[in-house]
Amino acid sequence: MHGIAFRFFISAALYVLIGMALRIYMAASGDHAMTPVHAHLNLVGWASMGLFGLYYHNVPGAAQTRLANFHFWVSSIGLWMMVPGIALAITGGPEGLAAGSSFVVIAGMLLFVFIVWRSRGAVSELA
């Protein structure tokens, strides 16, 4: 695995590691207030990013586009905004960052849907 597939997959592994560490901290402290942060790190960070990486690994034509690189950055920035945004909202801070990050994360998913749709011919050749 290399290129964009590797970047997505190594990012996913790092995000789940952070999510696990957060969960261990919450269990040790008895304070589970950050459970939504943990859940989003695992769902958006681990599951989505990991699946993106596997897709790009299996469809190299899609991985070799500038749009795939743009997809990586939109998805990453969305998660980087979402994690502190949710933490701020949970602690009584402003909810704007969490709300705004949701649109960035959805934009990343829409990009992925477009990329999959555009490369559908390459996918059918794998079957």
**Residues 8/57, Cβ–Cβ less than 8 Å:** no
Q: Number of helices (H) and strands (E) in the chain: give both, helices first.
A: 7, 0
pTM exceeding the 0.75 threshold for the entire prediction: yes
**Residues 123/116, Cβ–Cβ less than 8 Å:** yes
Buried b (16+ CB within 10 A) or exposed e, 20-54: eebbeebeeeeeeebebbbebbbebbbebbbebbe
The pair of structure tokens assigned to 116 is 């999959």
- Encode pLDDT of 24-83 as tens digits: 999 999 999 999 999 999 999 999 999 999 999 999 999 999 999 999 999 999 999 999
